[in-house]
Amino acid sequence: MKNLSRRTSAFITIALGVVLFVAINVVANSWLSSAQLDLTQNGLYTLSSGTRATLAKLQEPVTLRLYFSREQASGYAQVVAYAQRVRDMLKQYASLANGKVRFEEIDPRPFTPAEDDAVAQGMTGAPTQEGDNVYFGLVGTNSVQGHEVIPFFDQSREDYLEYDLTSLVYKLSLPQKPKLGIVSTLPLEAGAGGLQAALSGNSQPYTFYQQLKDIYDVQMLDPATTDRIPANISTVLIVHPANLDNKVEYAIDQFVLRGGHAIVFVDPLSESSAQQGPGIQDQGDKSSSTLGPLFTAWGVDFDPTKVVGDAELAQPVQVNGQNGQPQVLDYLAWLRLTPENFNTSDPVTANLQMVNMASAGALKQHAGATTKFLPLLTSTSMAGLLDSIQVRVTQNPSDLLRRFEPTGAKYVLGARVSGPAKTAFPNGPPAADAKSADAATSDAAKAATPLPPQIKEAQNINVLVFSDSDMLDDRFWVQVQNVLGQRVAVPSADNGALVMNAVENMMGSNDLISLRTREHSARPFLVVDRIRRDAETRFLSEEQQLQQKVTATEATLKQLQGQNPQSQGGAPVLNKAQQDQIDKFRRDLVGARSSLRQVQANLRQNVERLGNVLAFINIALVPILIGAAAIALSMLRRRRRARARGM
């Protein structure tokens, strides 16, 4: 009877367990389908406050239609997994929008009306080996014929998935695009190749410029003829204002004093003007830019002849060494800023992870300034100032490293300027420069319209100033790929995010800032970089000593050859002492080169040793610790049971 009772009890327990399991799954599917547990260190899979704010502000309903070919994509595990993440995130959007977001999923099977609809909506199909197309994109619509499309979700932009989705919703929520003015001497619309590339049909706009056009109504203001900024523009982006006309500077001056917001990118050495690397060719008055009189009026000092070098932030570049072999060296003029270099209290820079700068200058507050000067980007204390001409003509980064001496000061590379300011033109509007007289007279309509009364001062200006314009060049922060005929921008740094953050902040909305600057899953190998930098310093020191020895010995050899008669073949006749000296030099040279090779070998060994340690920790150590903990727990339980039996 006891055995039967035990069996009945066990059966009932199992049955109750099965019922409980089914009940939990039913409840979970019904009530917890959108619930998630994000255990990543930086909350990579948790919707940001910017997304929640954007969804909360929706006034009109938005429909999001996900087109995904389930059957055709079944053989591609990564695509299926990514589709599930997109699907889950869109469901979260719908659940948080208080009924303002409607989510639909459509499976565009081959030769069906759904496939025709996907093509008509702008979806791009990825061909499979079987000849079918896999559709994996999103269409967003609103009640006023707004239409936004993501033709295909490229996994290379997975880090920016939330930004792409929220940006799409944000665009649909705007009744009309805000207007943004741009003044630039760089060919932002034509891209790096400029007019020549545009004429040949190979032009592509700067990526940051294209991103701005997607959200804002961008109006380009001619840097040669603009004498006023339209009243319907609240924010102006000024990029590399090289040799601006006085009347353009006056227009900017009056715009800022009347309450307009300005974002300025100046440069002591514009490498983008020549589209070359270190050692660009002379660009004359276009190689540097500043807003001298305006900066003084705003309380900013900027020397366009000085470039900030930083031994700690220097980017590694590959150059040819003494023997023609590729060599990786730190280039002092190219900086890679990390969170320690950003102002975490300002929304423009608070969440940035990495920004690349090239030949940036130094900003500081003007003596006696009435404005507040708030640093946003700063160097480390391992920084110093380099002559821009020296940076321009130097071909090898090692030459800069040898002469470089850090000052111990931290230099400001970007700042927010606010507070009371006076006009930079106390004597009234400037007369038209001779170089712009023809342009002014050709525009009769504008010339006939008198300028508004001059504003002499303002109680609170709001200006962002950055000391580098090359940071906007694609080659320093983004890789543009062609995916199924679509241009897909995959950022490698947050330069574009910095610009978008600045514009959005000046426009009065910060909702998207927390999205585009979220920390990425990939992280730099800081320890590896430190090991490489230390070895590089040793390498350069030994290389310099070797070069000095070579130079001195060659001079001695030349002197000896000049003092000795020549043989019939033209070669100098050397005595035994001189020949011994030459032999000794050759031995020293061989030994020094061997030492240099050993330094490089040690560098590789240190990096490989670190990699082996990390691999052991991830592959072996963690399982060993878990196994040891399990064994210890099992032994502890046995001891407790033994003690209980003994009692």
Amino acid, single-letter form, for residue 38: D
The mean pLDDT of 423-447, rounded to a whole number, is 65
pLDDT(169) > 60: yes
| Tokens 């990579």 -> residue | 44
pLDDT tens column, 362-388? 999 999 999 999 999 999 999 999 999
More reliable by pLDDT, 490 or 365: 365
The mean of the pLDDT values for the chain is 81
DSSP 281: P
- Please state whether the predicted TM-score (pTM) of the whole model is above 0.95: no
Query: What contacts 151, CB < 8 A, 6 or more positions away?
Result: 122, 123, 124, 137, 484, 486
466, 242 in Cβ contact below 8 A?
A: no
In this prediction, residue 635 carries a pLDDT of 81
162, 51 in Cβ contact below 8 A?
A: yes
Amino acid, single-letter form, for residue 323: N
Give the phi and the psi of residue 489 in degrees, each rounded to 5: -95, 125
Query: What contacts 106, CB < 8 A, 6 or more positions away?
Result: 65, 66, 67, 68, 114, 117, 118
Rounded to whole angstroms, the Cα distance separating 286 from 280 reads 12
130, 92 in Cβ contact below 8 A?
A: no
pLDDT(19) > 80: no
Rounded to whole angstroms, the Cα distance separating 637 from 631 reads 10
In this prediction, residue 209 carries a pLDDT of 95
> Which among 68, 236, 60 has a CA at the least distance from the CA of 146?
60
596, 536 in Cβ contact below 8 A?
A: no
Burial 306-316 (b: 16+ CB within 10 A, else e): bbbbbbbbbbe
pLDDT tens column, 31-65? 555 555 554 555 556 788 888 988 998 888 999 99
DSSP letter for each residue of 256-311 = HHTT-EEEEE-BSS-GGGTT-SSSPPP-GGGS-B--HHHHHHHTEEE-TTEEEEET
Rounded to whole angstroms, the Cα distance separating 77 from 138 reads 20
> Which among 499, 480, 494, 481 has a CA at the least distance from the CA of 524?
494
Rounded to whole angstroms, the Cα distance separating 563 from 566 reads 10
> Which among 640, 339, 357, 371 has a CA at the least distance from the CA of 518?
339
pLDDT tens column, 610-638? 667 766 776 777 778 887 887 887 788 77
Residues 327, 332, 337, 340, CA torsion sign = positive
The mean pLDDT of 145-158, rounded to a whole number, is 89
Give the phi and the psi of residue 51 in degrees, each rounded to 5: -65, -45
Rounded to whole angstroms, the Cα distance separating 114 from 215 reads 29
Which percentage of the chain shows pLDDT scores above 70? 72
| C-alpha triplet 61, 209, 175: angle, nearest 5° | 25
> Which among 218, 225, 264 has a CA at the least distance from the CA of 246?
225
More reliable by pLDDT, 384 or 173: 384
* Token couple for 356: 């690349």
Rounded to whole angstroms, the Cα distance separating 563 from 484 reads 73
In this prediction, residue 464 carries a pLDDT of 97
* Token couple for 556: 């001695």
The mean pLDDT of 511-516, rounded to a whole number, is 70
Which percentage of the chain shows pLDDT scores above 90? 47
In this prediction, residue 149 carries a pLDDT of 94
In this prediction, residue 70 carries a pLDDT of 94
In this prediction, residue 278 carries a pLDDT of 43
Give the phi and the psi of residue 209 in degrees, each rounded to 5: -65, -40
The mean pLDDT of 556-577, rounded to a whole number, is 59
Residues 155, 156, 159, 165, CA torsion sign = negative
Amino acid, single-letter form, for residue 163: Y
Indicate the SS3 state at residue 169. helix
Rounded to whole angstroms, the Cα distance separating 647 from 639 reads 12
Amino acid, single-letter form, for residue 383: A
pLDDT tens column, 179-197? 999 999 999 988 766 555 5
